[in-house]
Chain A
Amino acid sequence: MRAQFVFGEVWIGLRRNLTMTAALIVVVAISLSLLGTGLLFVKQVDHTRSLWQSRLELSVYLCSAVNPDQHCAKNGPVTASERSQIQSTLLRLPQVVSVKYQTQAQAYQQAKHLFQDEPVMLNFVQPGDLPASFEVKMKNAQADAVPVTGAVLGQPGVDSVGDDAAILTKFYALLGGARDAVIVVAIILIVAAILLVANTIRLSAFNRRRETAIMRLVGASNFYVQLPFLVEGMIAGLVGWLIATALLAGAKAGLDGLQQYFPFPVELSVGDLVEVVLVTMLIALALCGATSFLTLRRYLRV
């Protein structure tokens, strides 16, 4: 094994094939950084999802005196016995972890806090407008919301049930869609990268046909004939990966910059980034190595 000789040949190949190699590097870099962004997205969504999972609640709103809803209007505001009935129903459910009663006064205080910067809303909302409610914590906020809602909805004294998870589900659907779009584009680009690797190696094999013809003639092993091409493809892939890593570090910084818009932590750890970067490196090596190898089998027959 003559490492110096092999790398000398690789250097010659890369130089002669400069434009193709450059195109290959750019496509690998872009496809890997898009794929990496997609993977970071996945991680981000997972993080926020688990963060929210423990905080999501179901609000069971009770009928109040001013409630215009039909069945509330018929029954009138919730009575004390109806209220304790609802509470015990909720507590009997296996999915329910805890139930907290929020009075109309507390709801008003909360609204005042929420709307403190919006005087119009603040003036509009009066004590007694907002209904009392049970704030229900469940074991699994998303899966348990439907059975718990079903158990109390329609009971006398219950006006409606608000599900935090339903709002978040839409939010997640949005994030998931964005993530899928990024990954689909990344996959299309990876296919382009594979074709480019195949073409680059083919061109390289054509450029060096004299050398390889002589190598075969004097009895160089397949391994020796193919190695420079293989290394060439791998080096191009690795350079593309390095660029992608820089772009991904930038993307992480960008995602972290979104922190200011969220009242909860959304930052990804450096560990997440390293993981994604390693995954993309393996993909780059596998992609370039396998494609080069298969192309060579086709074009460098002994």
Chain B
Amino acid sequence: MIHFESVSKTYTNQSRPALDSVNLDVEKGEFVFLVGPSGSGKSTFLRLILREERPTDGRIYVAGRDLARLTNWKVPQLRRRIGCVFQDFRLLPAKSVYQNIAFALEVIGKPRRFIRKVVPEVIDLVGLEGKGDRMPDELSGGEQQRVAMARAFVNRPMILLADEPTGNIDPATSIGIMKVLDRINRTGTTVVMATHDAAIVDSMRKRVIELEYGKVVRDQSRGVYGQAY
């Protein structure tokens, strides 16, 4: 599903590469934790998958596409197959829960009938039954992140990228978030989650990829967060 072939990324004006000859494969339906200290290259890894950045060197294949050969106007097609969740939720404050989720479908031109059918379904899936009319500022942090996950998942992406989704949420609420991610993963969606949350990684017992200074230093199936921390 995601295939990195000796991928390096050096940002302009920086001597040290953010990613340094990274080779890795993520299969369809996998759940992967991406761990490592700040600046280790986790975000660069996610941005490369989305083709928000291009690698300095190496090849990247996402959902069977060679990103180097992807023309600019085909990038939106790629992004429709990838859902994204962030630490800061990124909801539109002037839109209700329902409208926030529907927005993701409206802007890719889905018909209204389809939107009316799938948005309530995905609201139920993330556990926000009956809260479709609430505004984001009426919700708790955990609930806002559920809305963001619903928005990321509503178009049934093949891959879900989560960049520290529990970073702004207390541990008790985080468990609920992880349950939703697990539920999404069980539908066959590949999930890649960058995190600093050791308790979550340790409790989930999924594949763990550790980055340090842009290099993969550990790739462990059913791993833990790591002894060093």
Residues of A near any B CB (own CB < 8 A): 1-2, 5, 12, 210-211, 213-222, 224-225, 302
Contacts and interface: CB of A to CB of B under 8 A. Distances in A.
A5 B111 CA distance: 11
Given A5-B107, A210-B92, A219-B82, 20 more contacts: A2-B106, A2-B112, A5-B106, A12-B94, A211-B92, A214-B92, A214-B104, A214-B107, A216-B79, A218-B84, A218-B104, A218-B107, A218-B151, A219-B80, A219-B155, A221-B73, A222-B73, A224-B109, A225-B107, A302-B72
Given A1-B109, A214-B103, A214-B104, A221 B76 contact: yes
Contacts of B76: 216, 219-222, 302
Given A219-B78, A224-B109, A214 B90 contact: yes
B108 interface: yes
Interface in B55-111: 72-73, 75-84, 90, 92, 94, 103-104, 106-109
Contacts of B109: 1-2, 224
Interface string B96-134: 000000011011110010000000000000000000000
A220 B73 contact: no
Given A210-B90, A211-B92, A224 B108 contact: yes
Contacts, number: 58
Contact of B107 (A12, A210, A215, A302): A215
Nearest to A4: B112
A218 B90 contact: no
A77 B212 CA distance: 115
A260 B33 CA distance: 87
A219 B106 contact: no
Interface residues of B, number: 25
| 5 closest residue pairs by CB, A with B | A219-B80, A219-B79, A220-B107, A218-B104, A219-B76
A205 to B, nearest CB: 15
Contacts of A12: 94
A220 B76 CA distance: 6
Given A211-B92, A214-B90, A219 B77 contact: yes
Contacts of B151: 214, 218
11 contacts: A1-B109, A214-B90, A214-B151, A217-B50, A218-B79, A218-B80, A218-B108, A219-B76, A221-B108, A302-B75, A302-B76
Nearest to A5: B106
A293 to B, nearest CB: 15
A222 B72 CA distance: 10
Contacts of B83: 218
A298 to B, nearest CB: 15
Give the interface centre of A2, A214, A218, A225 by most chain B CB atoms within 10 Å: A218
A5 B102 CA distance: 11
A213 B75 contact: no
Give the interface centre of B50, B78, B106, B112 by most chain A CB atoms within 10 Å: B106
A218 B81 CA distance: 8
A279 to B, nearest CB: 35
A210 B76 CA distance: 17
Contacts of A225: 107
B108 A220 contact: yes
A221 B81 CA distance: 13
A214 B105 CA distance: 11
Contacts of B106: 2, 5
B84 A217 contact: yes
A210 B100 CA distance: 12
Give the interface centre of A2, A214, A219, A221 by most chain B CB atoms within 10 Å: A219
A215 B76 CA distance: 9
Interface string B194-208: 000000000000000
Contacts of A216: 76, 79
B104 to A, nearest CB: 4
Interface string B15-58: 00000000000000000000000000000000000100000000
A64 to B, nearest CB: 86
A6 to B, nearest CB: 9
Nearest to B82: A219
Contacts of B155: 218-219
A215 B83 CA distance: 12
Contacts of B82: 219
A218 B161 CA distance: 12
A56 B193 CA distance: 89
A214 B100 CA distance: 10
Contacts of B108: 218-221, 224
A274 B92 CA distance: 45
Interface string B127-155: 00000000000000000000000010001
